[in-house]
Amino acid sequence: MKISVIGTGYVGLVTGVCLTEVGHHVTCVDIDENKVQNMRKGISPIFEPGLEDMMTKNINENRLSFTSDYKEAMKDKEIVFIAVGTPQSKDGSAELTYLKKACKSIAEHMTDDLIVITKSTVPVGTNEYVKELIEKHKNASHKVSVVSNPEFLREGSAIHDTFYGDRIVIGSEEQEALDRVKEVYSSFTLPILETDLRSAEMIKYASNAFLATKISFINELGNLCERLGANIENVSKGMGMDKRIGDKFLNAGVGYGGSCFPKDTNALVSIGHSVGYHMSIVDSVIETNDKQQRIIIDKIKEFYPDLSHKKVAVLGLAFKPNTDDMRDAPSIKVIRELVDNEAEVYAYDPIAEENAKVFLPGGTIYKDSIDETLKDKDFAIIMTDWQEIKEYPLEQLKSQLKHPALFDGRNCFNLERVKESGLEYHSIGRPSIGVREDEEK
């Protein structure tokens, strides 16, 4: 099938490339000419394991092309995916400027009857508006059908999730269009759920808000466990064995970040307001997460009330491992707070340093390895559970620090193992280890 994908962010590029992998011919469109030039050479604008290899292969086999020209992109296409960004606006709602622009350009350049599939996360009812907008701006009497097809890709495993995720959701009021979209996915082995248009739009927000709720719930419980001498890891394990609860997304830590959960939970509350309904649970989830992103600072201040001129090693900056994405990363709040308190911050991330420079305060000093970051610092903090950090020998960590204390925001280490190392260790929702009462800080 001949397909266009508008927008080459995470969702658009991964979707476009994966569709060529199963034999479709795909033109990816982006307004950024520089990005287009690079992608033609197989250079991906985002870090995603396996993506560049798959891009290069399908470019060479003439199934994948890139352009900034809508005329070229829409020529002879019967299917177009919209995958432009819908960032959060000031009032929490989703910003639809890029989507509206994409609709107008599609309308002006379509050359045949068209099925428009929205992958971008959009407020419930938006796909009806997409149809209206394209109908209004199109030049000929071609038929336009709309289908909502939300994505559930995780950064770092987006290709795997495209082929082996849990489901494909497609929603439309037009059965013919749904049947055609099922053909697009005919080589995929995932179950397909067909729904009405508005329910498909809602499934995306509902899923992300529910996952965010699981995280905030376990984090709140972890804070309680700390005060009661229980261990959140054991509690999560016990809860997760109940199949109705499930064992995923029950890891306590420094809160969720990234491009989806913060944006989509805020958007859902805003969607509620737009129809006079207060989403009280989701609202609390957001508030709990805001507090949780600072929790490590509260712990540090208990032991280091005066942070001025303290040398602090921060290991991991990205919002989660295997990505260079810094959007809403908990490390941002923590490092800002440290710098505001006049601490000297030395930071390390295996791949997110370039992006981190955009988000973190100017005084942050970047280091090239864990060793260099730790050397002669007063104490260390872990903000992202990179494999490299989880595998770092604790004895080595202890010997590098001036005061061997580690504040682990991701529960990277087994408590028994920590005890053997003799390190002072504070984590999330678990008892602290090796705290000396007489210590001078």
CA 156 to chain CA centroid, nearest Å? 9
Q: Which is nearer to ligand UDX, 261 or 407 (CB)?
A: 261
Smallest CA-to-CA distance from 55 within 108, 118, 1, 12 is with: 12
Q: Which is nearer to ligand UDX, 204 or 398 (CB)?
A: 204
Of 55-63, 246-254, 360-368, 427-435, which segment contacts ligand UDX by CB under 6 A? 246-254
| Residue of 103, 225, 260, 412 with catalytic role | 260
Q: Give the total of residues touching ligand UDX (CB under 6 A).
A: 19
**Phi-psi region at 313: left, alpha or beta (left = phi > 0; alpha = psi -120 to 50):** beta
Closest approach of Cβ 399 to ligand UDX, in Å? 29
By beta-carbon distance, which residue lies closest to ligand UDX?
A: 260
Print the binding letters for residues 143-162 with ligand UDX: x by CB under 6 A, - otherwise: --------xxxxx-------
In angstroms, the CA 327 to CA 256 distance is: 11
- Would strands 192-195 and 311-315 be described as parallel, antiparallel, or unpaired? unpaired
Residue ranges in 343-402 that form contacts with ligand UDX under rule CB under 6 A? none
CB-CB neighbours of 178 under 10 Å: 19
Residue ranges in 125-144 that form contacts with ligand UDX under rule CB under 6 A? none
Residue 382 β-bridge partners: 315, 408
Q: Which is nearer to ligand UDX, 77 or 320 (CB)?
A: 320
316 near ligand UDX, rule: CB under 6 A: no
Strand order through the sheet with 114-118: 64-67, 25-29, 2-6, 79-82, 114-118, 144-148, 168-171, 192-195
Q: Which is nearer to ligand UDX, 1 or 206 (CB)?
A: 206
Of 98, 261, 346, 348, the one binding ligand UDX (CB under 6 A) is 261
In angstroms, the CA 163 to CA 160 distance is: 5
Closest approach of Cβ 315 to ligand UDX, in Å? 15
Instruction: Answer yes or no: are the C-beta atoms of 5 and 26 closer than 8 Å.
Output: yes
Q: Which is nearer to ligand UDX, 304 or 319 (CB)?
A: 319
304 near ligand UDX, rule: CB under 6 A: no
Per-position DSSP letters for 146-165, written without gaps between them: EEE----PPTTSHHHHHHHS
Closest approach of Cβ 174 to ligand UDX, in Å? 25
Of 66, 319, 348, 407, the one binding ligand UDX (CB under 6 A) is 319
**Host H or E run for residue 65:** strand 64-67
Of 28, 260, 268, 282, the one binding ligand UDX (CB under 6 A) is 260
Of 52-60, 109-117, 248-256, 390-398, which segment contacts ligand UDX by CB under 6 A? 248-256
Q: CB neighbours of 12 closer than 8 A, spacing ≥ 6? A: 5, 6, 28, 30, 81, 83, 84, 119
In angstroms, the CA 389 to CA 349 distance is: 9
Per-position DSSP letters for 201-243, written without gaps between them: HHHHHHHHHHHHHHHHHHHHHHHHHHHHT--HHHHHHHHHTST
249 near ligand UDX, rule: CB under 6 A: yes
Closest approach of Cβ 265 to ligand UDX, in Å? 11
Of 257, 262, 316, 350, the one binding ligand UDX (CB under 6 A) is 257
Residue 55: both structure tokens together: 């891009």
- Told to judge if 260 belongs to the known catalytic residues of this protein, a careful annotator would answer yes
CA 172 to chain CA centroid, nearest Å? 27
CB-CB neighbours of 17 under 10 Å: 31
In angstroms, the CA 159 to CA 169 distance is: 17
Closest approach of Cβ 224 to ligand UDX, in Å? 17
Residue ranges in 67-106 that form contacts with ligand UDX under rule CB under 6 A? none
Closest approach of Cβ 59 to ligand UDX, in Å? 26
Closest approach of Cβ 302 to ligand UDX, in Å? 22
Smallest CA-to-CA distance from 39 within 5, 86, 71 is with: 5
Q: At what angle do helices 97-109 and 126-137 cross, to 10 degrees?
A: 40
Of 256, 346, 379, 392, the one binding ligand UDX (CB under 6 A) is 256
Of 7, 171, 258, 404, the one binding ligand UDX (CB under 6 A) is 258
Of 251, 364, 421, 427, the one binding ligand UDX (CB under 6 A) is 251
Which stretches of the chain bind ligand UDX, using CB under 6 A? 151-155, 208, 211, 215, 249-251, 253, 256-258, 260-261, 319-320
Q: What residues are annotated to the active site? A: 260
